Amino acid sequence: MRKHLLIVATAIAAMFVAVLVPTSAHADGSTVINLGPGQYNVGFTHPTGTVTIGGGTISARCTAAAAKGSSVLLTPQCTTKPIRCPVSSAGCAVVFALQESALRGPVAVSGNVLVTGGSGAFDAVLQPYSCPQPNTCGTRVRDLFTPGTTIQLTTFNIAVGPNFPIVFSQATLTVL
């Protein structure tokens, strides 16, 4: 009975938070509410729907938009589909690109990488973090990963209240 009441209370709290946040997302996928112990985060998980493979590279990207960004709720945000370094390879180099733009800034973006089934090591900064900027910012870094590693990139807004922000992320894996 207690477990049932806790689930109902959590669902009601999530719906309440979702109603109060005037954001929307435009990308493949559906809006999800991530619930964890002691926190309610209205986020947008939007896989691209496709992973591009060709010429020794595997690329996954995502985008999400909101009418008004929230640094508290980290919206808008998006998550790429997972991509995997082939087990038969010597390893993989992965370039992570994060970007945010807004009609009215300033903007700031952050992200995280979920790494499973292997390990990685930092390689190089390809574009230094250029936030905050008046209307657009981003960064690009390259990491090296062991064979069999699965990588998934999440990008989210950390700016205070930009209007009409769009976040974009791309993970491009090159087989070594």
| pLDDT: which is higher, 15 or 166 | 166
What's the pLDDT at 52? 75
What's the pLDDT at 159? 92
Per-residue pLDDT reduced to its tens digit, 58-95: 888 888 888 888 898 888 988 888 888 988 999 999 99
What's the pLDDT at 50? 59
- Confidence class of residue 17 from pLDDT cuts 50, 70 and 90? very low
Structure tokens at 119: 């390990």
What's the pLDDT at 56? 76
Neighbours of 46 (CB within 10 A): 25
Number of residues assigned to the chain: 176
Q: Is the dihedral of CA 167, 48, 171, 118 positive or negative?
A: positive
Pairwise CA distance, residues 50 & 61, whole Å: 8
- Confidence class of residue 172 from pLDDT cuts 50, 70 and 90? very high
Structure tokens at 74: 């980290």
What's the pLDDT at 58? 86
pTM for this predicted structure: 0.71
What's the pLDDT at 66? 87
Pairwise CA distance, residues 109 & 131, whole Å: 7
Asked if the model's pLDDT at residue 1 lies above 90, the reply is: no
Per-residue pLDDT reduced to its tens digit, 110-131: 999 999 999 999 999 999 999 9
